[in-house]
Amino acid sequence: MSMTSMPPLPAWGAPESEPLLAVEDLHVEFVTRQGTVKAVNGVGYALHPGETLAVLGESGSGKSVTAQAIMGILDTPPARVPKGRIRFRGTDLLGLSEDARSQVRGSRIAMIFQDALSALNPVFTVGSQIAEMFRVHRGMSRRDAERRAVELMDRVRIPGARQRLHDYPHQFSGGMRQRIMIAMAIALDPEVLIADEPTTALDVTVQAQIMELLAELKRESDMGLILITHDLGVVADVADKIVVMYGGRVVENAPVHDLYRAPAHPYTRGLLDSIPRIDRKGRELHAIAGMPPNLLDMPPGCAFAPRCPYRQDDCVTAAPPLHRIGSTRGSACHYWREVLDGSHG
């Protein structure tokens, strides 16, 4: 479809006090030959302008599937969204036509994928891939689009950007490829940026550089940043709020400092205890016992119960709701008070 034939964007009418992005009771299922996989089961969280929200959890917890639902890039079938809303500036994205959704994708909500080498097209230069964003979405000429591509490569600190404009993805290091992905994601000045495991397979020094770059870009534009990761250590210095997911559900949410100081869910406590610490030198590294749940056959009670040191009889029969703790946090645990106290009472 040409630029001139695209339908107009919806009227985004959310008041300033409302979240920039709100996921509400979202359910995502995958229909397979073995049965229905309930990958996301009632997830909800909110993001405000200028805020960094970290979404944590093991592989299979539903973090990336939720992000793909937000972006509208789930393969349907086998995926389906039977319930829930994804509100961007007050408008439910799930109710938009595909043409309207495609205008939001990339220009207003953008995503950085975890494997930059797979996400980038190996047969096109990085400059042409960045420039394409401006040619398709802004109708720029080839020359103007390439000029903007060089500016973006400079912005994400790729040395010799003009000389490297015509290089291919395999000619860049892993950290530089991730910077190319960031350049493509911020090309159209999105209001929401989703970074899915942006530091996977990078060494510690490069991880820190990428996280510093994302934080700087967020401050410059006041965009909202959703950082998806399994590593609590990565987000300690950059996140404002943390959402912890397990078995397709949100099991805890809290401001970052509250969660690190006193986790209110056994799974979060287990994740924190698994982080190597200088003051525990010589001690055995803690690991959460057991395996994540089978999403084809979820237990009737709390999904974490089989691995939980706080487990009681009611945990295996009744799934806990997300209990509100004060005004800023919640925990999906029947015994969140004991977890906060650090006791196994």
Taking only the tens place, the pLDDT of each residue in 131-146 is 998 998 888 999 999 9
Among candidate residues 158, 187, 216, the one where a domain is terminated? 187
What are the DSSP calls for 167-232, one per residue?
--GGGS-HHHHHHHHHHHHHTT--SEEEEESTTTT--HHHHHHHHHHHHHHHHHHT-EEEEEES-H
Same domain, 100 and 126: no
57 and 127: one domain? no
Distance separating alpha carbons of residues 345 and 341, to the nearest angstrom: 9
Q: What CATH number is given to the structural domain containing 284?
A: 3.40.50.300
Q: What pLDDT band is residue 222 in, cutting at 50, 70 and 90?
A: confident
Out of 187, 220, 241, pick the residue that ends a domain: 187
Whether 247 and 262 map to the same domain: the answer is yes
Least confident of 162-171, 213-222, 323-332: 213-222
- Is residue 320 a contact partner of residue 299, using CB atoms and an 8 Å limit? no
Calpha distance 148→130 (Å, rounded):
9
pLDDT confidence band for 1 (50 / 70 / 90): very low
- Total structural domains within the chain: 2
Q: Say if residue 102 is in the same domain as residue 126.
A: no
The reply to whether 296 and 314 lie within a common domain is yes
In a domain, 83, yes or no: yes
Range of the domain at 275: 20-108+188-341
d(CA 133, CA 272): 40
Mean pLDDT, rounded, for 32-39: 90
Q: Say if residue 193 is in the same domain as residue 314.
A: yes
Phi first, then psi: give them for residue 48, nearest 5 degrees: -110, 160
pLDDT higher than threshold 50 for residue 280: yes
Q: Which of 187, 212, 246 is the last residue of a domain?
A: 187
How far apart are alpha carbons 274 and 151 in whole angstroms? Answer: 41
Instruction: Pinpoint the alpha helices (H) of 48-202.
Output: 63-71, 98-104, 116-119, 126-138, 142-155, 161-164, 174-186
Are 50 and 131 in a shared domain? no
What is the per-residue pLDDT for 288?
87
Stated pTM of the model: 0.88
- In a domain, residue 173? The reply is yes
> Would you say residue 50 lies in a domain?
yes
Q: Are 84 and 124 in contact (CB under 8 A)?
A: no
| Average pLDDT value for residue range 324-339 | 93
- Region 148-164: mean pLDDT is 92
* Cα atoms in the Cβ-side hemisphere of radius 13 Å centred on 282: 1
* pLDDT surpasses 50 at 32: yes
Mean of the per-residue pLDDT values of the chain? 87
121 and 64, same structural domain? no
On whether both 96 and 217 belong to a single domain, the answer is yes
- What pLDDT, on a 0 to 100 scale, did the predictor assign at position 343? 58
Could you read off the pLDDT of 69-120 as tens digits, one per residue? 999 999 888 999 999 999 999 999 999 998 899 889 888 999 998 777 778 8
Considering the domain boundaries, does residue 34 fall inside one? Answer: yes
| 6 has a pLDDT exceeding 50 | no
Whether residue 132 sits in one domain with residue 56: no
The residue-averaged pLDDT of 310-322 equals 92
